[in-house]
Amino acid sequence: MSILITGGTVVTASGRHAADVLVEGETITALFAPGRAPDVPGARIVDATGKYVIPGGVDAHTHMELPFGGTFASDTFESGTRAAAFGGTTTIVDFAVQRSGENVHDGLAAWHAKAEGNCHIDYAFHMIIGGVDDESLKAMDTLVDAEGISSFKLFMAYPGVFYSDDGQILRAMQKARDNGSMIMMHAENGIAIDVLIGQALTRGETDPVHHGLTRPAELEAEATRRAISLAQVAGDTPLYIVHLSASQALEAVAQARDTGRNVFAETCPQYLYLTLEDQLGAPGFEGAKWVCSTPLRSRHEPHQRDLWRGLRSNDLAIVSTDHCPFCFKDQKELGLGDFSKIPNGIGGVEHRVDLLYQGVVDGKLSLERWVETIATTPARMFGLYPRKGVIAPGADADIVVYDPSGRTTISVHTHHMNMDHSAYEGFEIAGKVDTVISRGSVLLSGGEYHGRKGHGRYLRRGLSSYLV
C-alpha cells in the first residue's frame, strides 16, 4: 500500500521544512516540495496540515516482563508495545537477562520466546550480563557477530542479583573494546547503598521515601566517575550511563566528554518532572508508585534544571523511559513495611514523546532536539540508523504525525499500559499524537487503533554510529 502524507512540517534532527512524504510498502521512498508529489493511484492520503511529521520514536531502554523482587514487570511484550505505539514510539530496545550462574545464550533465547509474535512494533535487545566470567565474555563476541546485539549492560548496584565488581567490569569493558560494542552501566554504589538501607530499616524507617534517601546522589556520582575511569583503563571503551538522575553524575559525564571520551548518557522523563518530595514522599505507602532506581531527586536541589540543560548541550544524548511497570496492588505492596522490598520501576513507554514535547512548549528544548533525543540519537547510538530515526528515502516508514494544537491528559483511565495507576496522573500535555505508522502500516489514526501483535519484527543491530 502507498501512503502520501501531505501538508505537514517534517521535523528532523537537522531542521524543519514543509514537505510531502511518500511511503510505498514498508519504506519511505521520497520527499516532495508541498503539492509537487505525483499522483499515486490508490494511495492513502494523510492530511498533516498544521502538524509535525517526525520519525517514529525509539525507546532504547525498556523492561517488558522483567523478573524483579519476586514478581514480574506487569507489561508483556504485547501490552507494552501496543501502549508504546499509542504514544508515538515505533521501536523499543529491551533487555534480555543473564543472571549469575546462568548461560547468556539461554537468557537471550528466553527473551526471544517472550517477544516473538507478540510485538505491535519493531524491537531489539541489549544483553544484561549479570555474571561476568570466561563463558559470558566469549558469548559477548558471538552476540555481536551473529545476533545483532551490540550493547551490554552491567550493574554496580544490586549485590547478589546483578552486581559486578570492578574487576568483572574491567574485563567486560576490555572485551567490548575489542569487539566494538557498547557497555551500558547502572551506576550506583550498591555496596554502600545496602549499608544505608540496613541502617534505615534498623531505625524503623520503612516508608517509600527512604528508598530515595538511602540512594544519595553522591553514590550515583561516585559510581559514574568510577565507571568512566574503568572505561579509560580498558582503552576508552564506549560507555553509556543509563537513567542518569543527579547533577553530580552529569558533571562527571560532561567532564569526560569535554576531553573527547567515548562517554554517553541518557535520562528519563521521571527525573525531568517528578521529585522525591512530591511523589516518592507522598503520604503513607502511596510513594511506592514512584520507587525506581536511580531514585527521584529532591526538588530543593538543581537536578531537574541541570538535566534539561544537559539535554540541550548533548551531555545527555537520549531520553529513554526505563519502562518497568508494576501494579500498586499486590506488586508494589510487596514492600509494605520494608521499602527495600518494593519492586523498582515506573511505567512510561506510552508518554515519553508527549512529555518531551511539553519541554518544547515550555521553551526547554527545540523541536529538532526533541526529535533528536526521542528518535534519531537512540537509532544512531544503538546501530539502527539510518533504517530508524529519520524521515528520509530508504528509511523504514516509521512516522508519527504530531498535532501541536491537540491536548493530551495523562491518566490511568486512558493509558494503555498494564498498570493500575499512572506515574503522571493528571499531567496536561500541549500536544497530541495524531497518526502512527510502523513500516508503512497505520497503527493509529483518528483515535482508532489498527495495529496487531505480530506486526513487530526483531531488529539485528549494528555498532554505534558515534564510534570510530
Q: What is the pTM of this model?
A: 0.98
Q: What is the mean pLDDT of residues 47-62?
A: 98
Q: What is the mean pLDDT of residues 164-181?
A: 98
Candidates 3.30.930.10, 1.20.120.610, 3.20.20.140, 3.40.50.300; CATH matching 56-381 = 3.20.20.140
Q: What is the mean pLDDT of residues 389-402?
A: 98
Q: What is the mean pLDDT of residues 333-360?
A: 98
pLDDT one-digit tens code per residue, 59-72: 999 999 999 888 99
pLDDT one-digit tens code per residue, 194-234: 999 999 999 999 999 999 999 999 999 999 999 999 999 99
Cα 172 to its chain centre, rounded Å, is 23
For residues 99 and 369, the model is more confident at 369
pLDDT one-digit tens code per residue, 305-317: 999 999 999 999 9
Q: What is the mean pLDDT of residues 405-412?
A: 98
Q: How many CB atoms lie within 10 A of CB 165?
A: 11
Q: d(Cα 241, Cα 237) in Å, to the nearest integer?
A: 13
Provide the pLDDT for residue 100: 81
Q: How many CB atoms lie within 10 A of CB 2?
A: 15
Dihedrals φ, ψ of 248, to 5°? -65, -35
For residue 230, give the H/E element and its range.
Answer: helix 217-233
Per DSSP, helices labelled H in 266-351 are: 269-273, 303-313
Provide the pLDDT for residue 468: 62
Q: What is the mean pLDDT of residues 388-403?
A: 98
Provide the pLDDT for residue 101: 85
DSSP 350-390: TTHHHHHHHHHHTTSS-HHHHHIIIIIHHHHHTT-TTTSS-
Q: d(Cα 74, Cα 412) in Å, to the nearest integer?
A: 14
Q: Where are the domains of the chain?
A: 56-381
For residues 144 and 100, the model is more confident at 144
Provide the pLDDT for residue 140: 98
pLDDT band per the 50, 70, 90 thresholds, residue 99 = confident
Q: What is the mean pLDDT of residues 417-440?
A: 98
Q: d(Cα 67, Cα 111) in Å, to the nearest integer?
A: 12
Instruction: Give the contacts of 389 (CB within 8 A, at least 6 positions apart).
Output: 55, 58, 375, 376, 377, 378, 379, 380, 395
pLDDT one-digit tens code per residue, 22-38: 999 999 999 999 999 99
Is pLDDT of 276 > 70?
A: yes
Average pLDDT, the chain: 97
Q: d(Cα 332, Cα 78) in Å, to the nearest integer?
A: 22
Dihedrals φ, ψ of 163, to 5°? -60, 135
